[in-house]
């Protein structure tokens, strides 16, 4: 838990959850009652022009609430579902303190999906991920400079980092946490 005394306007906290799994998506579908084929059936999702299943928006939004719950008591939360999250993605949650009034802390929240594409070593592809194999990366992703790289043990990981859910939240924190 984060202590109220440790926060100040502008401070950023980060959380990473994942990777998203088909099993997790199916469990969420079962628990929520939302068994829409775009979430649980690749063939159906392809027919809907999605190139494969996507996670439920509220499943993803729940990851923002999970991160906030690690800090304090949730008073208010809102967000806009803007980008799809897919199996294999990591949820990257960034919480930025916007204001502190008494024991209430307002955050700007940002959930991004980190979609692994491929790993290259010495200019050669040594590993591909579902995003590469199913062609989930679009010309628009490239034009918007969403493709990033980072060094990993096997070489250079290429991945897409895309906004999934921007929003705001208010938490109640006590001095002890």
Q: What is the pLDDT of residue 175?
A: 66
Helices and strands (H, E) in the chain, number of each type: 6, 7
CATH fold label, 4-112+163-172:
Thiol Ester Dehydrase; Chain A (3.10.129)
| Euclidean distance between CA atoms 140 and 84, whole angstroms | 14
CB 107 within 8 A of CB 14: no
pLDDT in tens, the chain (177 residues): 788 899 999 999 999 999 999 999 999 999 999 999 999 999 999 999 999 999 999 999 999 999 999 999 999 999 999 999 999 999 999 999 999 999 999 999 999 999 999 999 999 999 999 999 999 999 999 999 999 999 999 999 999 999 999 999 999 997 654
Q: What integer pLDDT is reported at residue 160 of this predicted model?
A: 99
Say what the pLDDT of residue 2 is: 85
- Cβ atoms within 10 A of the Cβ of 46, count? 14
What pLDDT score was predicted for residue 171?
97
Report the SS3 class of residue 26.
helix
What is the secondary structure of the chain as a DSSP string?
---GGG--TT-EEEEEE----HHHHHHHHHHHS---HHHH-HHHHHHTTSSS----HHHHHHHHHHHHHTTSEEEEEEE---S---TTPEEEEEEEEEEEETTEEEEEEEEEEEEEEEEEETTEEEEE-HHHHTT---HHHHHTT-EEEEEETTEEEEEEEEEEEEEEEEEE--TT-
């Amino acid at each position: 838990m984060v202590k109220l005394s440790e926060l100040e306007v502008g401070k950023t906290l980060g959380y990473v959850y994942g990777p998203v799994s088909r099993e997790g998506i199916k469990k969420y579908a079962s628990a929520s009652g939302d068994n829409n084929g775009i979430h649980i059936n690749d063939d159906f999702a392809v027919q809907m022009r999605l190139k494969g299943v996507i996670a439920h928006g509220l499943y993803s939004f729940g990851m923002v609430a999970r991160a906030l719950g690690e800090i304090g008591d949730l008073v208010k939360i809102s967000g806009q579902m803007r980008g799809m999250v897919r199996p294999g993605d990591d949820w990257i949650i960034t919480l930025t303190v916007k204001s502190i009034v008494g024991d209430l802390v307002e955050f700007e929240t940002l959930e991004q999906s980190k979609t692994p594409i491929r790993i290259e070593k010495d200019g050669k592809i040594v590993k591909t991920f579902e995003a590469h194999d199913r062609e989930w990366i679009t010309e628009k992703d490239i034009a918007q400079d969403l493709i990033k790289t980072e060094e990993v043990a096997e070489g250079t990981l290429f991945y897409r980092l895309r906004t999934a859910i921007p929003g705001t939240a208010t938490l109640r924190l006590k001095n002890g946490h």
